[in-house]
Amino acid sequence: MPIVDIPILSMLRTRMQWHQERQRVLAENVANADTPLRARDLGPPNFENALQTAALSLRAQIPAILASQVQRLAICRG
């Protein structure tokens, strides 16, 4: 599995992009502090769907993971 396909890293990348965009919006608020423009902010990203997808993916992989571990153990024991 390529590192870019790992769900937690994808969520981390999304969160970092959100922080970058929020920083840009807040900087605009500061730059326009003396104008009649209203201050803006961004809502936090929703990771609920990504977490559910990752959990389902992990559940699907558990039997294969356990089988490979049992096979390794059997090989080690000879």
Sequential pLDDT tens for the chain (78 residues) = 677 677 778 888 888 999 999 999 999 999 999 998 888 888 887 777 767 777 777 777 778 777 877 787 777 776
Tell me how far apart the alpha carbons of residues 23 and 70 are, in angstroms, rounded to a whole number.
Answer: 49
pLDDT confidence of residue 19: 93
- Three-state DSSP at 39 gives coil
| Nearest residue to 51 (alpha-carbon basis) of 4, 2, 10 | 10
- What pLDDT is attached to residue 16? 92
pLDDT for residue 71? 80
